[in-house]
Amino acid sequence: MKNNNAQIGKIAPDFEAIAVFDEEFGKIRLSDYRNKKYVVLFFYPLNFTFVCPTEITSFSDRFEEFIDLDTEILGVSVDSEYSHLAWLQIDREEGGLGELTYPLVSDLKKEITLSYNVLDDSGVALRGLFIIDKNGIIQYSTTNNLSVGRSVDETLRILQAVQYVTENPDEACPVDWEPGDETIYL
């Protein structure tokens, strides 16, 4: 049975897990970012697949744009930390990830994936993405078909809109809003 903890406007389910960053293993806890940074938490099905590396490397290549928005990125799959490390140690040109600018979290027990309601019946993570604000509240979530990659541009646009309405609670961002566009006063 799937857990329905991850909901817009609610505290994001906390977790502590092993992650790989800079080819080293370490513990990571989501709540460590609370009151410090926004978090883009995204789930992907499996390592050594075809669509996943296009997303993972695109988020990494655009990492500075997220840093400029005071945001950390965390990627999560049901693979082991050893599988993450092996994939990171293969160059991109050879089907690997090469260097990444953010951690890959191991959810081998599928507890995180289950708590975010993105565990597929086949036992892999769906392509879920969550934007979590500095207070640890989920402000946005989306889940894609396993065969459809996500857009980094759209993630950045939504992140900027979420940050804008958080800072301007009497305003709303209309369709296709970009920073500098007019907003709607509530």
The rounded distance, in Å, linking the Cα atoms of 75 and 185 is 35
Compute the average pLDDT of residues 123-143.
Answer: 98
Q: Give domain status of residue 9, yes or no.
A: no
Q: Give domain status of residue 181, yes or no.
A: no
pLDDT above 70 covers a percentage of the chain that reads 98
Report how many domains make up the chain. Answer: 1
Q: Give domain status of residue 176, yes or no.
A: no
Tokens 């897990």 sit on residue: 17
Q: Give domain status of residue 109, yes or no.
A: yes
Q: Are 97 and 90 in contact (CB under 8 A)?
A: yes
- How confident is the model at residue 4, as a pLDDT? 57
Residue whose C-alpha is closest to residue 107's, from 42, 174, 34: 42
Whether residue 1 has pLDDT greater than 50:
no
The rounded distance, in Å, linking the Cα atoms of 36 and 24 is 23
Q: Give domain status of residue 131, yes or no.
A: yes
Catalytically active residues, by annotation: 52
Q: Give domain status of residue 175, yes or no.
A: no
State in Å, rounded, how far the first CA of the chain is from the last one: 39
Label residue 127 by pLDDT band (50, 70, 90): very high
Q: Give domain status of residue 65, yes or no.
A: yes
- How confident is the model at residue 5, as a pLDDT? 80
Tell me the pLDDT tens digit for each residue of 148-166: 999 999 999 999 999 999 9
Question: 125: domain range?
Answer: 16-148
Q: Give domain status of residue 118, yes or no.
A: yes
